[in-house]
Amino acid sequence: MADRLTGIDVFVRAIRLGGISAAARDLHMSPAMAAKHLDALEARLGTTLVQRSTRRLSLTEAGADYFEKAERILMEIGEAEAEASSRSITAQGLLRVSAPATFGVLHLASLIPAFSARHPEVTIELGFNDRYVDLLEERWDVAVRIGRLANSALVARKLVAMRVVLCAAPSYLARRGTPTRLADLGDHDCLGHTNASLAGTTSWAFGKDGTIKVPISGSMCSDNGEALVRAAIAGQGLVYGPRFIAAEALRAGQLSELELDEPPMMLGAAYAITHPTRRPAAKTRAWIDFLAEALPALGTDW
């Protein structure tokens, strides 16, 4: 394909500039090499495009028709390359971002105005889903993922550290007492997450590596962390999960953080994920750089 395009380029330049030698100089190749490319083009097409003489080139009937089409093809390729080059330098176009639902709603959506002020030519599509999306298959430019990353070929950039917290409303603790040991959890209403294996509906994991499993039960469970926090604020029970969901309620005194005889498991961090087979466009790089700056400032108590 590269040789085919070079042959077309030699042909068009030779006609524009008045000779094969002039086309060769313009393309920084020898006249003999330029002539070979033109010969190969004619052989591939099975027709003569130009009549050559020592003084000038003249187009055949087939050559005149082909020249018009070839010139248009080269122009379109040049425009496409210029546009792609521009987009690799300037942040612009549609940016598709996938993120966990609760984190996206609580924290990413509120950052969009500041990002748009910096990069007004970027349009953002936010997709909130708690499952791991396939970046290539579903055509996402970047995904935000939270936790401890498994070994993966994906390219990850750490954005902000994350912690897990156990908490409850002061009204609940006044009514049911404050647990101080893991063994106390069996006497409490524990609000479990139906999609969280380490903080689920039948057991919660403690210890930095999450190796200490404690049986729990409760009167409510949900697949949404924010719903569990809202129920805990209302006095429904204990909630155990990412601190970024409960941070505002903790600051406001609506929830109290609890410390037991073993620490909560380590959640890890929030990461920006891109695919290694794609060179990130300027819009993607701009978004990741923006998050790496904005999220640590936003999540000082996460």
Domains in the chain: how many in total?
2
Q: What percent of the chain stands above pLDDT 70?
A: 94
DSSP, collapsed to helix, strand or coil, labels residue 264 as strand
Report which of 260, 261, 286, 256 is spatially closest to residue 274, judged by C-alpha positions.
286
Query: pTM higher than 0.75, yes or no?
Result: no
Compute the average pLDDT of residues 117-131. Answer: 92
Looking at the fold, whether 75 and 99 belong to one and the same domain comes out as: no
Evaluate whether 164 touches 243 at the Cβ level (below 8 Å).
yes
Looking at the fold, whether 60 and 107 belong to one and the same domain comes out as: no
Looking at the fold, whether 30 and 142 belong to one and the same domain comes out as: no
Q: What is the CATH number of the domain that holds 36?
A: 1.10.10.10
Evaluate whether 248 touches 167 at the Cβ level (below 8 Å).
no
Evaluate whether 9 touches 2 at the Cβ level (below 8 Å).
no
Give the chain's mean pLDDT: 90
- What band does 288 get if pLDDT is binned at 50, 70 and 90? very high
- Per-residue buried b or exposed e for 204-214, using 16+ beta carbons within 10 Å of the residue's own CB: bbbeeebeeeb
**pLDDT exceeds 90 at position 151:** no
Boundary of a domain, candidates 85, 110, 142: 85
**pLDDT exceeds 70 at position 7:** yes
Cβ neighbours for 55, distance < 8 A, ≥ 6 positions apart = none
Compute the average pLDDT of residues 96-104. Answer: 94
Residues 123, 143: Cα–Cα separation, whole Å: 16
- What band does 42 get if pLDDT is binned at 50, 70 and 90? very high
Per-residue pLDDT of 48-65, as tens digits, reads 999 887 677 889 999 999
Q: What is the CATH number of the domain that holds 237?
A: 3.40.190.290
For 213, phi then psi, to 5°, come to -100, 130
Residue 12, domain extent? 4-85
Report which of 154, 286, 240 is spatially closest to residue 145, judged by C-alpha positions.
154
Boundary of a domain, candidates 85, 105, 124: 85
Residue-level pLDDT at 132? 82
